[in-house]
């Protein structure tokens, strides 16, 4: 049986405390008023400063709460970083690791992403491990090979369907309004599922999210693709009606 979909909102470096409270309350109101609850789990991933203040509201509405990154070490002299147990301590359930913006702008390697994901698991968090090819990678005709290589090198030791989520996000589709074709998404997600079957015992139950310009207008089509078990949503997660429309596109 396919896993229950997960829709995760990646707020990136956006919103003040007041704006964030309004956004979560707006989503919460949509959740409370909905006659039929969306057929997915919902997680919001705000910047670090907003996590603790949003923790109780997220709990009240049944939304998971995720960080956008964590350090690989449990604690220590790492100025400016946040450790996975700190996220767990303030009520986080999830953490994104290896987002392409961190890989490209902060120089994170697969080994670093793997270490961060392992720290997340050790802290009891679900790691959302991001992978995805660049435009040049896609044009090379080797996108699947590239992504599977990244996946196997970034996957934490001890990954299970319960503690790890994969997010396939083609770099060229993030924030651009462009998306791969349904066929390309299907082929990549199948390749990821097949690759997971080696290291993960219950690979069929591990969620594989699609991310990159998911909007209300394309969510239904993308979420219906085989082996797509939800979405990681950037821009559209900042607009309550849009994020909600994506959540309710899960069937
Ligand atoms: P986008 O971002 O939905 O704005 O393309 C997705 C992401 O970076 O996770």
> Mind listing the pLDDT tens digit for each residue in 84-134?
999 999 999 999 999 999 999 999 999 999 999 999 999 999 999 999 999
143 located within any domain: yes
Catalytic entry in 99, 133, 144, 189:
99
How far apart (Å, rounded) are the C-alpha atoms in residues 237 and 46? Answer: 10
196 located within any domain: yes
89 located within any domain: yes
Looking at the CA of residue 175, tell me the nearest atom of ligand 1. Answer: 5
| Average pLDDT score over residue span 137-162 | 98
41 located within any domain: yes
202 located within any domain: yes
78 alpha carbon – ligand 1 mean position (Å): 28
- Note whether 116 and 175 are same-domain residues: yes
209, 212, 245: residue to mutate for ligand 1 pocket, most atoms within 8 A of CB: 212
- Note whether 32 and 109 are same-domain residues: no
Ramachandran class of 213: left when φ > 0, alpha when ψ lies in -120 to 50, beta otherwise = left
DSSP string, 152-183: HHHSPTT--TTTEEEEE--GGGTTTS----HH
Query: Which CATH number characterizes residue 131's domain?
Result: 3.20.20.70
Question: pLDDT-based confidence at 50, cuts 50/70/90?
Answer: very high
Residue 189 known to be catalytic: no
> Mind listing the pLDDT tens digit for each residue in 175-201?
999 999 999 999 999 999 999 999 999
pLDDT at 64: 98
216 alpha carbon – ligand 1 mean position (Å): 13
Residue with tokens 């919103």: 15
User: Considering its fold, how many domains does the chain have in total?
Assistant: 2
Q: Is 173 buried (19+), middle (13-18) or exposed (0-12) by CB count in 10 A?
A: buried
List the residue whose alpha carbon is closest to atom 3 of ligand 1.
Answer: 234
67 located within any domain: no
Residue 135 known to be catalytic: no
List the residue whose alpha carbon is closest to atom 6 of ligand 1.
Answer: 234
- Note whether 112 and 195 are same-domain residues: yes
69, 234, 245: residue to mutate for ligand 1 pocket, most atoms within 8 A of CB: 234
CA dihedral defined by 174, 90, 22, 246, rounded to 10 degrees?
Answer: 40
- Note whether 91 and 207 are same-domain residues: yes
Answer yes or no: are the C-beta atoms of 23 and 240 closer than 8 Å. Answer: yes
- Note whether 50 and 98 are same-domain residues: no
Answer yes or no: are the C-beta atoms of 84 and 122 closer than 8 Å. Answer: yes
- Note whether 47 and 89 are same-domain residues: no
- Note whether 29 and 145 are same-domain residues: no
Question: pLDDT-based confidence at 1, cuts 50/70/90?
Answer: confident
> Mind listing the pLDDT tens digit for each residue in 2-48?
999 999 999 999 999 999 999 999 999 999 999 989 999 999 999 99
CB-based pocket (< 6 A), ligand 1 = 10, 169, 174-175, 211-214, 232-236
List the residue whose alpha carbon is closest to atom 1 of ligand 1.
Answer: 234
- Note whether 48 and 91 are same-domain residues: no
Answer yes or no: are the C-beta atoms of 50 and 16 closer than 8 Å. Answer: no
pLDDT at 178: 97
- Note whether 195 and 152 are same-domain residues: yes
How far apart (Å, rounded) are the C-alpha atoms in residues 171 and 178? Answer: 10
Question: pLDDT-based confidence at 251, cuts 50/70/90?
Answer: confident
- Note whether 91 and 39 are same-domain residues: no
178 located within any domain: yes
- Note whether 19 and 118 are same-domain residues: no
233, 238, 239, 243: residue to mutate for ligand 1 pocket, most atoms within 8 A of CB: 233
List the residue whose alpha carbon is closest to atom 2 of ligand 1.
Answer: 234
Answer yes or no: are the C-beta atoms of 90 and 52 closer than 8 Å. Answer: yes
66 located within any domain: no
| Average pLDDT score over residue span 44-66 | 98
| Domain that includes residue 148, residue range | 82-213
Question: pLDDT-based confidence at 60, cuts 50/70/90?
Answer: very high
How many Å separate Cα 77 from the centre of its chain? 28
- Note whether 166 and 117 are same-domain residues: yes
DSSP string, 114-139: HHHHHHHHHTTPEEEEEE---HHHHH
Question: pLDDT-based confidence at 249, cuts 50/70/90?
Answer: very high
């Amino acid at each position: 049986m396919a896993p229950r979909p997960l829709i995760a909102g990646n707020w990136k470096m956006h919103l003040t405390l007041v704006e964030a409270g309004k956004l979560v309350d707006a989503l919460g109101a949509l959740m409370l008023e909905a006659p039929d609850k969306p057929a997915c789990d919902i997680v919001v991933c705000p910047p670090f400063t907003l996590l603790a203040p949003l923790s109780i509201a997220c709990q009240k509405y049944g939304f998971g709460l995720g960080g956008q990154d964590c350090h690989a070490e449990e604690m220590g002299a790492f100025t400016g970083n946040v450790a996975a147990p700190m996220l767990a301590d303030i009520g986080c359930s999830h953490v994104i690791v290896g987002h392409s913006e961190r890989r490209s702008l902060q120089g994170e390697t697969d080994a670093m992403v793997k270490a961060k994901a392992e720290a997340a698991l050790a802290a009891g968090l679900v790691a959302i491990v991001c992978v995805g090819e660049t435009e040049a990678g896609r044009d090379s005709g080797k996108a699947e090979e590239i992504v599977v290589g990244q996946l196997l090198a970034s996957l934490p030791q001890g990954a299970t369907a319960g503690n790890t989520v994969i997010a396939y996000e083609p770099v060229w589709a993030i924030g651009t309004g462009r998306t791969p074709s349904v066929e390309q998404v299907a082929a990549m997600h199948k390749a990821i599922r097949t690759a997971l079957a080696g290291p993960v015992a219950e690979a069929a139950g591990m969620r594989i999210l699609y991310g990159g310009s998911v909007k209300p207008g394309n969510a239904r089509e993308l979420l219906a693709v085989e082996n797509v078990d939800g979405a990681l949503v950037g821009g559209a997660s900042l607009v309550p009606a849009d994020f909600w429309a994506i959540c309710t596109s899960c069937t």
